[in-house]
Amino acid sequence: METFVIDGDSFSSFEEFCKVFDKVVFANCYNRWTGSLDAFNDLLRDVNCTIVWKNFAKSKMDLSYSETVKILKERLEYCPPINRPFVRKDLQRAESGIGPTVLDWLLEIIAEHDNVVLILE
């Protein structure tokens, strides 16, 4: 089992996190990860590793509600019309500091994979 180190000091946004994670963890995968959470879930199936997330406290701040609002606003622009009421509701909750954050989404997806061990430092 390989060990990869992700450093919270090397990114401060979800977009930057995606680039770092793709470069470090998914470097040997055929497909590149550009931010789709569905693709993140799929790509994690192809790795058998330990991920050490250094400076996690910084990431917890960087990937909190303000970043979640930003991502949900982008999602609202591109999602199918049938999904817009759900995204609007999630956006309103995030703007109020309620509900899961981008970081929560990532941690939840990682936790679903028995082939990935996550160590938060």
The model carries a pTM of 0.92
Given a contact cutoff of 8 angstroms between Cβ atoms, the answer to whether 46 and 29 are in contact is yes
Give the three-class secondary structure for 35: coil
**Can you list the domains of the chain with their CATH numbers?**
1-62+101-121 (3.30.370.10), 65-100 (no CATH)
DSSP 6: E
Q: What is the pLDDT of residues 28-72, one digit of tens each?
A: 877 788 899 999 999 999 899 999 999 999 999 999 999 999 999
Query: In 1-121, where do the E strands start and end?
Result: 2-7, 49-54, 116-120
Neighbours of 8 (CB within 10 A): 21
